[in-house]
Amino acid sequence: MKTRQGYYSEQTRNESYKITMADSNSTEKQYNKIINCFTLHDGWTMQEIEAKTGIAVHIVSARLNELRKDEIIMTDTERRKNPVTGRPNIVWKLHPTKFSGQLELF
C-alpha cells in the first residue's frame, strides 16, 4: 500500500505540536519574555521583538495578539521600516492605563 502524499510531514507536525504542548509553561514564558521587552523600551515591531527575545516571529505575532486582546499593548499610526524587507511594520506600545509595570507573580 502506498503512503499518501503529505503523510510524513503531517506526522512530523503532530509530534512537534505534542512536544511543544508538553511544556505547558512555554506560552506563559514567551508571553512574559515579550512583556519584559516592553518594560525595557516602549515601542517594538514584531521583528525587533524576535531579534531581542529569540522567539520566532510567527509565535511573537500570536503572543502580541493575546496582549492586544488583553488590552496590555496598543498601536497607533507609527510604523518603522523593516531593514530586511523595506516594508513598514507596526510599532506596538504598552497601553498606558492598562499596564501597571508589574507582572503578576502568582
Q: Per-residue confidence of the chain (106 residues) as pLDDT tens digits?
A: 787 888 888 888 888 777 766 665 777 888 888 888 887 787 899 999 999 998 888 889 988 998 889 888 888 888 999 888 889 999 999 887 766 555 554 4
**What contacts 90, CB < 8 A, 6 or more positions away?**
45, 46, 75, 78, 79
pTM: 0.67
CATH of 25-94, one of 3.40.50.1390, 1.10.20.140, 1.10.10.10, 3.40.50.620: 1.10.10.10
Cα–Cα distance between 34 and 28 in angstroms, integer? 10
Comparing CA positions, the residue from 39, 101, 44 lying closest to residue 78 is 44
